[in-house]
Structure 1
Amino acid sequence: MITLVFNEDHTQLPAASENTIPVQLYGLPSAERADVSAIGSPALERIKRLGVEITTQSMDFLSIALAVTAADTFVRREDSEDGWTRAIRIALPLAEPDRWRNVSKRLASAFHFLSGDIWEFDFKEGGTLTPQPYRRRDRYQLIRLRGLDSVCLFSGGLDSAVGVIDLLKDGRKPLFVSHSYKGDKTKQDSVAEALDGRFARFSINAHPISANSETDISMRTRSCNFIAFAAVAAGALQEINRLERVELIVPENGFISINAPLTSRRIGSLSTRTTHPYFISSIQEIFRAVEISCEIINPYQFKTKGQMISECKDQSTLKAVVDQTVSCSHWKRSNQQCGYCVPCTIRRASLLAGNINEVNEYQYPDVTRVMTEPDKRDDLMALCIAISKRDSRNIPLWVSESGPLPADKIDEYSKVFTGGLEEVEAYFRLVGIL
Structure 2
Amino acid sequence: MRLLCAPGEIGRLHEADTLRVVLYGQAGSPDRASAGAAVRNDIRKEGLAPHRRAWDLLSVAMSVMVADAAGLRTGSPDGWTREFELEIAVTEPDFWNGAAPVIADALAFLTTDRWHLRFIPGGAAAPEPARVVRPPQDCVALLSGGLDSLIGTIDLATAGTRPLVISKIVRGDTEKQEDFARTIGGGLRHIQLNDNAVVPAPKDTSQRARSIIFLAFGILVATTLAPYKAGATVPLYVCENGFIAINPPLTGSRVGSLSTRTAHPQFLSLFEDLLNAADIRVEIRTPYAEKTKGEMLRECADQQLLRTLAPRSTSCGRFQKYNYHHCGRCVPCQVRRAAFLAWGQPDPTEYVFEALGRDDEKHAGFDDVRSVGMALVATEDGGFRNWLGNALAWPLIGERDALQDMLRRGLAELGVLHAKYGVK
Distance in 2 of aligned mates of 1:127 and 1:293? 22
Match of 2:352 in 1: 363
The equivalent position to 1:409 in structure 2, one of 389, 399, 418, is 399
Q: Does 1:420 align with 2:410?
A: yes
Distance in 1 of aligned mates of 2:409 and 2:171? 34
Distance in 2 of aligned mates of 1:43 and 1:381? 42
Identify the range of structure 1 (112-121 vs 239-248) with the bigger mean alpha-carbon deviation.
Answer: 239-248
Match of 1:272 in 2: 260
Distance in 2 of aligned mates of 1:241 and 1:56? 13
User: Structure 1 residues 172 and 198 mapped into 2: Cα distance closer, same or farther (>3 Å)?
Assistant: farther
Match of 1:350 in 2: 339
Match of 1:25 in 2: 23
1:342–1:379: 8 Å Cα contact kept in structure 2?
Answer: yes
Q: Does 1:221 align with 2:209?
A: yes
Structure-to-structure mapping, 1:151-162, within 5 angstroms:
151-162=140-151
Q: Which amino acid aligns with 1:14?
A: L
Structure-to-structure mapping, 1:281-292, within 5 angstroms:
281-292=269-280
Q: CA deviation at 1:181?
A: 2.0
TM-score normalised to the size of structure 2?
0.94
CA offset digits 1:156-197 (Å, max 9, x no partner): 000011000000000001011111123121221232233224
Structure 1 stretches of 4+ with a deviation exceeding 4 A read 238-241, 405-408
Q: CA deviation at 1:99?
A: 1.4
Q: CA deviation at 1:359?
A: 1.8
- Give the secondary structure class of the aligned counterpart of 1:321: helix
Identify the range of structure 1 (352-361 vs 406-415) with the bigger mean alpha-carbon deviation.
Answer: 406-415
1:161–1:191: 8 Å Cα contact kept in structure 2?
Answer: yes
Match of 1:298 in 2: 286
Q: CA deviation at 1:16?
A: 5.3
Compute the RMSD of aligned alpha carbons.
2.1
Match of 2:35 in 1: 39
- Give the secondary structure class of the aligned counterpart of 2:243: helix
TM-score normalised to the size of structure 1?
0.92
Q: Does 1:125 align with 2:121?
A: yes
Distance in 2 of aligned mates of 1:413 and 1:215? 36
Structure-to-structure mapping, 1:156-305, within 5 angstroms:
156-197=145-186, 199-210=188-199, 212-238=200-226, 242-268=230-256, 270-305=258-293
Match of 2:93 in 1: 97
User: Structure 1 residues 398 and 213 mapped into 2: Cα distance closer, same or farther (>3 Å)?
Assistant: same
Q: Does 1:432 align with 2:398?
A: no
Distance in 2 of aligned mates of 1:232 and 1:407? 26
2:223–2:229: 8 Å Cα contact kept in structure 1?
Answer: no
Percent identity over the alignment is 33
Q: Which amino acid aligns with 2:329?
A: Y
Distance in 1 of aligned mates of 2:206 and 2:342? 31
1:53–1:132: 8 Å Cα contact kept in structure 2?
Answer: yes
The equivalent position to 1:400 in structure 2, one of 383, 390, 404, is 390
Aligned residues: 422
User: Structure 1 residues 407 and 164 mapped into 2: Cα distance closer, same or farther (>3 Å)?
Assistant: closer
Stretches of structure 2 lacking an aligned partner (at least 5 in a row): none
Match of 1:150 in 2: 139
Q: Which amino acid aligns with 1:117?
A: D
Match of 1:139 in 2: none
- Give the secondary structure class of the aligned counterpart of 1:38: strand
- Give the secondary structure class of the aligned counterpart of 1:121: strand
Q: CA deviation at 1:65?
A: 0.5
Q: CA deviation at 1:86?
A: 1.0
Q: Which amino acid aligns with 1:317?
A: L
- Give the secondary structure class of the aligned counterpart of 1:22: strand
CA offset digits 1:60-111 (Å, max 9, x no partner): 1000000111100111111122221111011011101111111111111110
Q: CA deviation at 1:15?
A: 1.2
- Give the secondary structure class of the aligned counterpart of 2:167: strand
- Give the secondary structure class of the aligned counterpart of 1:236: coil
Q: Which amino acid aligns with 1:419?
A: R
Distance in 1 of aligned mates of 2:198 and 2:309? 33
Q: Does 1:14 align with 2:10?
A: no
Q: CA deviation at 1:388?
A: 1.8
Match of 1:84 in 2: 80
1:306–1:351: 8 Å Cα contact kept in structure 2?
Answer: yes
Q: CA deviation at 1:431?
A: 2.3
Q: Which amino acid aligns with 2:4?
A: V
Distance in 2 of aligned mates of 1:383 and 1:389? 10
Distance in 1 of aligned mates of 2:55 and 2:250? 38
The equivalent position to 2:105 in structure 1, one of 104, 109, 115, is 109
User: Structure 1 residues 396 and 411 mapped into 2: Cα distance closer, same or farther (>3 Å)?
Assistant: farther
Q: CA deviation at 1:428?
A: 1.6
Q: Which amino acid aligns with 2:367?
A: D
Q: CA deviation at 1:432?
A: 2.1
Match of 1:5 in 2: 4
